[in-house]
Amino acid sequence: MDNQLSLFYGLSVLTAALAFAFAAYLYLWVKKQKTVNATIQEVAALIKQGANTFMRREYKVLAKFAIVAAVIIFVLLPSPIWQGGILDNVSMAVAYLAGTVLSAIAGKIGIMVATLSNARSAEAAQKGIKPAFLVGFRGGAVMGLLVVGCSLLGVAAVLMVTGNASILLGFSFGASSLALFAKAGGGIFTKTADISADLTGKVELGIPEDDPRNPAVIADNVGDNVGDVAGMGADLFDSNVAAMASALVIAQSLSGGAYSNISMVFCYAILGLLASIIGIATARIGKHGNPTRALNSSTYVTTGVFLVLTAIATAVFEGFSWRIWGASAVGLLVGVIIGITTDYFTDDTKPIVRKVAHASGTGPAFTILSGISYGFISALPAMIGIAVSALVAYKICDPMGEGYAIFGISMAAVGMLSIVGMIISNDAYGPIVDNARGLAEMGGLGEETIRTADELDSAGNTVKAVTKGFSIGAAGLTVISLLGAFMSEANDALAAAGKALITGFDIMSPNVFFGILIGAAIPAVFSAMLILGVDKNAQRMVAEIHRQFNTIAGLREGKPGVKPDYDKCIDIATGGALKELIPAGLMSIIFTVVVGLIGGPLAIGGFLLGNIVSGLLIALFMSNSGGLWDNSKKYIESGEEGGKGSSAHKAAVIGDTVGDPFKDTAGPSINTQITVVSLVASLLSSLFVAFSLFG
């Protein structure tokens, strides 16, 4: 290790500590805000308790899974324990567990702060948009800071201790395992509750959203937190770690100047975190300001600060290359462009959402057909963006020598994810103010306050589309570099076995092609299984709600003192989410193993590619269709196309219900599915080298 690298290890730890300190400050600031309304306090306590119940049960299942996985990793990886090198196996298993634990801690604290902020934001909304915005935003920022701080700290610690970047794949796989449970499980939970609450409350009984008589209402609010705060946080923790891990694996394999490349990865991650801290600290809104603009401008501040700081660092530090800076800048800029185009398809001030709202006037079939069509079209600019950034990053860095081109692509992913602290803050803001809106309604804070809360909520929805585009784009670039990481792992195994090395994955090779076709079908099947899981789970919950309305006397009429059994609904959502998620996760892993055992490493290369390409397409399609249906419904509810209660509105509600599991369950879980499969493939590369039918 050289001095420069030691410096950046030290700075990584310091910056992470700074992020934790700032998070602690924001936490105490939020905690200091007052709540006085007894109903709000009571409901907020129920939401908090519900979220904790889900997290506890999720973590319990996950712990079992993680222990089994850690044992398998210990026995088999990086190479079977009977071949010696036991220390590496211990490191790998410990790194894996550290990945799950760090992500779990970030999720746990994030949920704690989010469920603290919602009530405070609701009551602050009585004083105006400014204080309510700040509570929501700062509450969300705690999650953002924790996620990025933990990922930087974890990656730096693993590499400092082991000195072996391959061990980072274990850490990254830990993060992915947790993300799979948090994102897909949380996604099933939240949509089960949301759909069941809507179907029984709004549709059957005609009672308003967030009516406390509805047994699913607390589960619905819990769902926002576990799906969007914990789930999205774990997802981006996973992407961020995977991007850094793959960049570091490649950096370590580069001949000559490897240390400065490793330093550069850490330096950029540190500066990204600093830029996010600056962006969060300077987020401001006027007294009657526009919250969407406030959120977006903090994102742009962060982006600008990052580009300037990294340029300075590149000029100052020895061995840092402008080409690599260029690659990461391209990644970040393309991320911003993807965000803006996503916004075009999902923002209700733009034409697409209005066209779908208009089509709803002709009936629900047209809501669905136009939403699906525009969702498909919306994938094109993002796919082009990812394609162009990969091509440009490659071409910029290729002249630096062998291996640098792929390193450039991985640094484009690191660049795109550099502002992830800001992204998560914006994202976690959404469910906090969504909850705040519900609490304001349940606490009877009056129309003015609800309107303020509504405005904050709507900003959360719009910004969410942008952050989703970002995270999908980053996942796309990351997995390209994971493909590079897989090839380097497979070649290590091939070299050890004395076999010919892989020089690439030619699509004319039947094994590669075989892998591609099957890999492409997996994200489709995975998302279908999650959607069907929501469907089944919602049917169970609807039955339970019917049971409560039929057996609890006075509940339907809202007799004072009569309360539904909220816990039972939370229980169903929790149990069902974990039950439905596991087959989908296993299916992806089993297909990876089977394809590898049939076609060997070449088939796996193809499998990963097919998986990435169709995964990106389906994730973009589902996230954007879902977002545009949601906003079309809101647009009609604002009085357009006949307004609430019109036939267009009814059609739009159907579109929104279809879009719910698209955008909050399946779409964003595909990211995690892709990462999990890529890491399983890399980790098992020696198995596929040792045995395959046609390999």
Single out the residue of 468, 25, 452, 440 nearest to residue 239, CA to CA: 468
**Residues 594-613 close enough to bind a second copy by CB under 8 A:** 599, 605-606, 609-610, 613
| Ranges within 349-408 binding a second copy (CB under 8 A) | 359, 362-366, 368-370, 372-377, 379-380, 383-384, 386-388, 390-391, 394-395, 405-406
Compute the least distance from the CB of residue 339 to a second copy, in Å: 18
Site for a second copy in 407-436 (CB under 8 A): 409
**Residue 63 contacts a second copy per CB under 8 A:** no
Rounded to a whole number of angstroms, the minimum distance from the CB of residue 617 to a second copy is: 6
Burial of 287 (0-12, 13-18, 19+ CB in 10 A): exposed
Is 597 in a helix, a strand, or coil?
helix
Contact window for a second copy (CB under 8 A) among 195-203, 254-262, 329-337, 411-419: 195-203
Of 81 and 369, nearer to a second copy (C-beta) is 369
Q: Which two tokens stand for residue 258?
A: 């490897």
Q: Which residues contact 322 (CB under 8 A, 6 or more apart)?
A: 314
Residues from 496 through 535 that contact a second copy (CB under 8 A):
503-518, 520-521, 524-525, 527-529, 531-532, 534-535
Count, residues in the chain: 695
Tally of CA atoms within 13 A in the half-sphere of 350 that contains its CB? 14
Q: With respect to a second copy, which residue has the nearer C-beta, 300 or 691?
A: 691
Pick out residues in 439-468 that bind a second copy (CB under 8 A): none
Q: Find out whether 332 and 306 touch, Cβ atoms under 8 Å.
A: yes
Q: Around Cβ 322, how many Cβ atoms within 10 Å?
A: 12
72: contact with a second copy by CB under 8 A: no
Nearer to a second copy, 334 or 433 (CB): 334
Nearer to a second copy among residue 73 and residue 666 (C-beta):
666
Between the alpha carbon of residue 624 and those of residues 78, 230, 428, the distances in Å are 39, 21, 19
Confirm if 299 and 470 have CB atoms less than 8 A apart. Answer: no
| CB of 278 or CB of 359, closer to a second copy | 359
End-to-end CA distance of the chain: 39
Measured from the CB atom, the residue of 87 and 391 that comes closer to a second copy is 391
Instruction: State the minimum distance, in angstroms, from the CB of residue 539 to a second copy.
Output: 7
CB of 268 to a second copy, least distance (A): 21
Q: Among 85-93, 241-249, 328-336, 615-623, which window interacts with a second copy (CB under 8 A)? A: 615-623
C-alpha 423/C-alpha 402 separation (Å) is 34
359 versus 420: smaller Cβ distance to a second copy: 359
Segment near a second copy (CB under 8 A), from 68-76, 308-316, 432-440, 475-483? 475-483
Q: In the bound complex, what is the minimum distance in angstroms from residue 362's beta carbon to a second copy? A: 7
DSSP character for 693? Answer: S
CB of 551 to a second copy, least distance (A): 21
Residue 493 CB partners (closer than 8 Å, separation 6+): 601, 685, 686, 689, 690
497's CB contacts (< 8 A; 6+ apart) are 689, 690
Structure tokens of 254? 């580069």
Sequence-ordered strand ranges (E) for 1-86: none
Q: Which of residues 656-675 bind a second copy (CB under 8 A)?
A: 657-658, 661
Tokens representing 318 are 């020895």
Confirm or reject binding of residue 484 to a second copy (CB under 8 A). yes
